[in-house]
């Protein structure tokens, strides 16, 4: 197995784990977001098969700070037109890796003749996001059992320092699938536990897990401009988010 990040940075000082935040704050200005810290759990297997996007086997992801800087960020951000979930495993200030990563398996292309991917499988620093506000979905207003399909992306870095993005935005790439956000349970403040799974019904091979079809793109690490299209890949994943 090829590992994205061949070296990890040891965090200096004391690493402080932040508990799940209690309540949303009011929006301070148009377009600004309020941030609630959540616990993100990425499943490694399901229905007897390994998942194509999985954890680093170190348990749930929570927001952690090192010397007042976010080393890992797991949150729901609320905007005037909806909410986004996001998980980032690197320092937001300078993209220095934390001690957490995400596992990606790109061993199943969905399009023939794809360019050779940068890796087949491995762990790397990553930024995962479900942009539900783009389709005016507030994750808190979903009732238990209700779902919404949200655009988003899974961004990750490979050993040579290059950045790639798996797109979940069919508005840009018509063949790809969105992320399905489903409310599992609620309290007086609204939905409090969600799952994020493929918005798809595709099953391939002997693996009974539903797979999402997503576009793999090489990015300019500074501008986020798309440098190359590596075709589509099938991904299976099951992510649980809890506030």
Task: Determine the structural domain holding residue 95 and report its residue range.
Answer: 33-242
Residue 153 inside a domain? The answer is yes
Cα gap 207→203, rounded to integer Å? 7
The alpha carbon of 200 is separated from its chain's Cα centroid by a whole number of angstroms, namely: 17
pLDDT score for 112 = 84
Residue 52 inside a domain? The answer is yes
- Contact in structure between 64 and 16 (CB atoms under 8 Å): yes
Return the residue matching tokens 């609630």: 36
Residue 229 inside a domain? The answer is yes
Average confidence score pLDDT of the chain:
88
14-31 b/e with 16+ CB inside 10 Å = b?
Answer: eeeeeeebeebeeeeeee
Residue 20 inside a domain? The answer is no
Cα gap 219→229, rounded to integer Å? 9
The alpha carbon of 68 is separated from its chain's Cα centroid by a whole number of angstroms, namely: 23
Distances from the Cα of 241 to the Cα of 35, 69, 84, 87, 178, angstroms = 14, 22, 12, 10, 17
Q: What's the structural domain count of the chain?
A: 1
pLDDT score for 2 = 41
Cα gap 197→210, rounded to integer Å? 9
Residue 13 inside a domain? The answer is no
In the predicted model, residues of the chain with pLDDT beneath 50 are: 1-30
For 184, residues 6+ apart whose C-beta sits below 8 A from its C-beta are 144, 191, 193, 194, 195, 240
Residue 10 inside a domain? The answer is no
- Please give the model's pTM, rounded to 2 decimal places: 0.86
Which 3 state secondary structure label does DSSP give 135? helix
115-174 pLDDT, tens digit per residue, is 988 889 999 999 999 999 999 999 999 999 999 999 999 999 998 899 999 999 999 999
pLDDT score for 25 = 38
Residue 1 inside a domain? The answer is no
Residue 6 inside a domain? The answer is no
For 90, residues 6+ apart whose C-beta sits below 8 A from its C-beta are 71, 96, 97, 98, 125, 126, 127
């Amino acid at each position: 197995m090829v590992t994205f990040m061949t070296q990890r940075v040891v965090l200096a000082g004391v690493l402080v784990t932040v508990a799940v935040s209690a309540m949303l704050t009011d929006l301070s200005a148009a377009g600004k977001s309020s941030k609630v810290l959540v616990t993100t759990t990425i499943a490694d297997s399901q229905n007897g098969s390994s998942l194509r996007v999985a954890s680093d086997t170190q348990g749930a992801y929570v927001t952690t700070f090192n010397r007042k800087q976010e080393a890992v960020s797991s949150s729901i951000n609320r905007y005037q037109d909806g909410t986004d979930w996001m998980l980032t495993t690197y320092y937001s200030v300078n993209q220095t890796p934390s001690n957490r990563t995400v596992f990606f398996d790109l061993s199943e292309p969905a399009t023939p003749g794809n360019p050779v991917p940068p890796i087949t499988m491995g762990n790397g620093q990553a930024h995962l996001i479900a942009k539900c506000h783009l389709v005016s979905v507030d994750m808190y207003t979903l009732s238990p059992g209700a779902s919404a399909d949200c655009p988003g992306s899974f961004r990750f870095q490979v050993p040579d320092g290059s950045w790639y993005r798996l797109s979940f935005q069919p508005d840009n790439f018509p063949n790809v699938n969105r992320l399905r956000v489903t409310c599992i349970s609620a309290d007086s403040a609204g939905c409090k536990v969600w799952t994020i799974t493929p918005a798809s019904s595709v099953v391939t091979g002997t693996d009974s897990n539903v797979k999402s079809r997503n576009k793999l793109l090489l990015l300019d690490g500074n501008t986020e401009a798309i440098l190359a299209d590596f075709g589509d890949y099938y991904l299976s994943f099951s992510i649980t988010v809890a506030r």
